[in-house]
Amino acid sequence: MKKANVIDLAHNILLKHIKPHMTIVDATCGNGHDTLFLASRVEHVHAFDIQQEALDNTRSLTKDLDNITYHHTSHEHITKLISNYDGVIFNLGYLPKGDKSITTHHISTVNTLKSLHEKNQGFVLIVAYPGHTEGIIEQVALQSFLDKQDIKYEVIRLPHITKKDAPLIYFYTY
Ligand SMILES: C[S@@+](CC[C@H](N)C(=O)[O-])C[C@H]1O[C@@H](n2cnc3c(N)ncnc32)[C@H](O)[C@@H]1O
């Protein structure tokens, strides 16, 4: 049997919340695996990334689908660019097999969560990786933002992982 990983777990959570008519935003499309997963199941996906390489990889992985809009910009612009969405997902960290110095950053991540909070729409799913230096800063910052807003979120980890720095998933709905 294939060993479950945090992405399988995130996708299983998404399966419980996405419906075919939905528009979902992939805030950090990276190599495109989450965009492909979503676009095969919902009406439309908006895929964001700040790296051209990530958008190229995502376009190539999703070349058979025509329900994706690609945005070469920071996820901080989501609420300015898209008025109606049903959910936003973040897979934080750096592009796998890419430049590890370009990673999501606590300031822009929390700014985006703030703008989504003001918009008050749909669900938010975040996969956070506290196992690297910026990753732990980001995870602490985002959790403290959610706590200050009194957002009722679930935190999910693979059941057999008890390591302190194992990836974790935040999920909440407005
Ligand atoms: C872990 S990867 C995402 C993996 C991807 N979801 C997949 O399925 O392959 C994180 C991505 O976030 C991107 N990123 C970093 N800061 C960003 C920002 N402010 N806005 C959008 N994307 C950002 C990076 O360029 C990187 O490609």
129 domain-assigned: yes
The residue to which tokens 């025509």 are assigned? 66
Compute the distance from residue 101 Cα to the ligand 1 centre, in Å: 12
51: pLDDT confidence band, cut at 50, 70 and 90? very high
d(CA 158, CA 174): 25
1 domain-assigned: no
Which residues neighbour 143 within 8 Å (Cβ) at sequence distance 6 or greater?
170
Pocket residues: Cβ below 6 A from ligand 1: 27-34, 48-51, 54, 74-75, 91, 93-95, 102, 104, 108
150: pLDDT confidence band, cut at 50, 70 and 90? confident
Q: Which atom of ligand 1 is nearest to the CA of 103?
A: 15
- Structural domain span for residue 44: 6-173
The pLDDT assigned to 98 comes to 83
H or E segment to which residue 106 belongs: helix 106-119
98 domain-assigned: yes
The pLDDT assigned to 160 comes to 65
d(CA 163, CA 110): 25
Residue 77 maps to which CATH number? 3.40.50.150
162: pLDDT confidence band, cut at 50, 70 and 90? low
> Does residue 159 have a pLDDT over 80?
no
Protein residue whose Cα sits closest to atom 16 of ligand 1: 104
* Mutation to probe ligand 1, out of 5, 6, 29 (largest number of atoms < 8 A from CB): 29
How many structural domains does the chain have?
1
Other beta carbons less than 10 A from residue 5's beta carbon: 12
pLDDT in tens, 80-127: 999 999 999 999 999 988 888 899 999 999 999 999 999 999 999 999
* Mutation to probe ligand 1, out of 104, 110, 142 (largest number of atoms < 8 A from CB): 104
Beta-bridged to residue 45, according to DSSP, are 24, 68
The pLDDT assigned to 165 comes to 81
149 domain-assigned: yes
